[in-house]
Amino acid sequence: MARKNVNYDIMKKFLILTACGLWAMFCFASCSGESSSAEDAEEKSSQTPGGMLFFRDDDTGNLKYVAFDGRLEDVAASLIDSVPVEMDLNLDCYHPEVSPDGKWVAFSTTHENSGAYTELYVKEIGTNALPLKLPVQMAAIPRWHVNSKGDTSIVYVDNTGLNQKDLWFSYGTWIVPFMKGAFGTPKKLFNGAFNGGFSKDLTFFVNSSALLMGRYVTYSGDSIVSMADSIWYDGEQTCNASLSKDGTNRTLFLDMAGKQGLEFVGESFRPHQRILVIDSLGHLISAVPSEPNTAFDHTEWVGYKDYAVASLQNANLLHTKIVLVNMADSSIVDLVSGGELWHPNLWIKSDKK
């Protein structure tokens, strides 16, 4: 009898220890699972989306953006009922442009043609980090550039005034490295504020405020040895020029229903009712009409196939829509709508192109 009591006590202790062990294993597995899930969620939230549409809300002066995944051709469906994220930076924000890696957005505090005091900032997307200010006297209309070595920079101008006066040639076009979340030392490329974009090799620049102008640049190593300027479109007033990002060096722009545009299109239209496109020699090659009773504004190439984005102005002169324009077939798709929407920039992740 005594032996049976001893065996019973041993068995009882064994069962208790086993139960405790199983419970500990269950708790460890549960905690590990929760930790893993939290880490996965954090990683997922920090992942760069397939694309982003940035724009200025002119009613508030703030930047807003909507993110999407999938192909650009499906972007309209992706953005249906999307609520834009608003960046309230206590700054007047114009001309946003997303960095090639999709992690940063650069912008300035004034717009094309203003000639006013302006600053340039870069803000990390999806974080509460403060925007980084480029420490120079004046800077505007930033455009990202990646050279053949993979180094990232920002090309900008130091004044957004009109190019119809000699004073414009005292303004400058600059380039500043931006690596690992910090600015490098700015370098002046040349006199003349070319804010409409540039070729990948920095040998061709455009501007349209208010004359449509191109500059051809020749280098010897890293030094410029010659430059040549051309004024296109018969010297008529233009604006919103954007140089294509696909290597074709096409420039789109808007006009005031000038003579050359009317002759090319073959029918009458009102100012900004056509997106006009020229080749690198200044020859008109295509035109895309706006929707009835509307006009384009703030036009920019997307950098993917033949797409561009623009604000669409209604009959009451309000920029109530941002649209995606297929420059090949002239189709127009609504992306977002609101009160007064300016300066769209549509960024597409490289593996989505």
> Which tens digits make up the pLDDT trace of 68-94?
887 777 787 778 678 999 999 999 999
Q: What gap in Å lies between CA 149 and CA 179, rounded to an integer?
A: 13
46 pLDDT more than 70 = no
pLDDT at 80: 66
For residue 304, name the pLDDT band (cuts at 50, 70, 90): confident
b/e per residue, 180-205, with b = 16+ CB within 10 A? eeebeebeebeebbbbbbbbeebebb
Q: What gap in Å lies between CA 303 and CA 102, rounded to an integer?
A: 14
For residue 24, name the pLDDT band (cuts at 50, 70, 90): very low
Does residue 96 come out as left (phi exceeding 0), alpha (psi in the -120 to 50 range) or beta?
Answer: beta
- Terminal C-alpha separation, the chain: 83
Q: What is the separation of C-alpha 336 from the centre of its chain, rounded to a whole number of angstroms?
A: 15
CB atoms within 10 A of CB 248: 15
- Write the CB contacts of 194 (distance below 8 Å, at least 6 apart in sequence): 157, 173, 205, 206, 207, 213, 215
8 pLDDT more than 50 = no
pLDDT at 75: 81
